[in-house]
Amino acid sequence: MAETKTPTPMFPVVQGGGSLIVAWQIKGKKVVVVGGGEVAAGRILNVLNADALVTVVCPALGLNPEVAYRVAQGQVTHVPRNFEPSDLDGADMVLVAVDDPAASSIIWNLCKERHIPANIADVPPECDFYFGSVHRDGPLQIMVSTNGKGPRLASTIRKFIAKQLPKDAGRAIESIGRLRIKLRQMAPDVEDGPKRMKWMIDVSDAYSWDDIGGLTDDDMDNLLKYYLSGDVPSLNVLKGLPDGKDASDIDLFDGSFGFSVGA
């Protein structure tokens, strides 16, 4: 009897039970943190790194050294008392990190009534979102999430991934970001979008991480001269271009043949 083969799916198979991992932009938005202990300190650092406006609600005696430091430095606004419902006024996000399950649930329910996204530490059912284990290198952020099931394992996996990354990956990303800004200024029209995208892909594929990270502003300006033709020069050619000139202005030497080309 012939074996029946299971057909290969035409599209990706749905894997339920996950979370939607997104880069949440909270710059300039009000984040209320209830609590001032070690867990709160980690939450506060996370949202400060995202340029949020942070308000910490906690009696002064409940602040650990790190949170007390951020209060003293003016990095956060401190409300030195226990939580009150009015603390939610104007909040865009609420993070609760207190050792009081009953009080935490009350805050969670208040947030639901006001449609404010909230995270209640160590209580997965009372969380609109989770914090993962994050590797940070300048603009590069890599998050590993176990959907609240194994934070310690997430940290181990994150460290493993970080060791596999190229050295100075963040510096290369900063450079490619500056080049994209320059290119968009040079070719700002919407119809230029597909060509911009293709050329940036070609540039990213043409050079190593170290090469990209080492590009100076002069290098980028010279590189942009190739955009209209859609070409990407070798690094040796790019570095050989005098400021203010392009490939048609100079002799390019190919050592394998022993003579100048393009003269």
pLDDT at 263 over 70: no
Write the pLDDT tens digit of every residue in 6-22. 777 789 889 898 888 88
pLDDT, residue 239, reads 87
Number of folded domains in the chain? 3
* Pair (34, 125) in one structural domain: yes
Which class for 117: exposed (0-12), middle (13-18), buried (19 or more C-beta within 10 A)?
A: middle
Q: What angle do CA 72, 32, 114 make, to 5 degrees?
A: 160
Write the pLDDT tens digit of every residue in 214-247. 999 999 999 999 999 999 999 999 988 765 454 4
Region 73-100 average pLDDT: 97
Asked which of 81-85, 140-144, 150-154, 205-209 is least confident by mean pLDDT, the reply is 150-154
Is residue 146 included in any domain, yes or no? yes
Write the pLDDT tens digit of every residue in 98-133. 999 999 999 999 999 999 999 999 888 999 998 888
* Pair (116, 153) in one structural domain: no
What CATH number has the domain bearing residue 86?
3.40.50.720
| Integer CA distances (angstroms), 76 to 26, 69, 70, 160, in order | 15, 10, 6, 33
Write the pLDDT tens digit of every residue in 170-199. 999 999 999 999 999 999 999 999 999 999
Residue 254 pairs with which residues in a beta bridge? 259
What CATH number has the domain bearing residue 158?
3.30.160
Active-site entry in 51, 87, 92, 122: 122
* Pair (48, 114) in one structural domain: yes
Count of all residues that appear for the chain in the document: 263
* Pair (96, 138) in one structural domain: no
Asked which of 25-39, 92-106, 191-205, 241-255 is least confident by mean pLDDT, the reply is 241-255
* Pair (154, 240) in one structural domain: no
Is residue 13 included in any domain, yes or no? no
Let me know if 122 is a catalytic residue: yes
* Pair (37, 111) in one structural domain: yes
Q: What angle do CA 208, 212, 217 make, to 5 degrees?
A: 160
**Helix/strand/coil for 133:** strand
pLDDT, residue 8, reads 76
* Pair (144, 187) in one structural domain: no
* Pair (141, 185) in one structural domain: no
Residue-range definition of the domain harbouring residue 137: 132-165
* Pair (35, 98) in one structural domain: yes
* Pair (126, 70) in one structural domain: yes
DSSP 190: G
Residue 252 pairs with which residues in a beta bridge? 261
* Pair (105, 144) in one structural domain: no
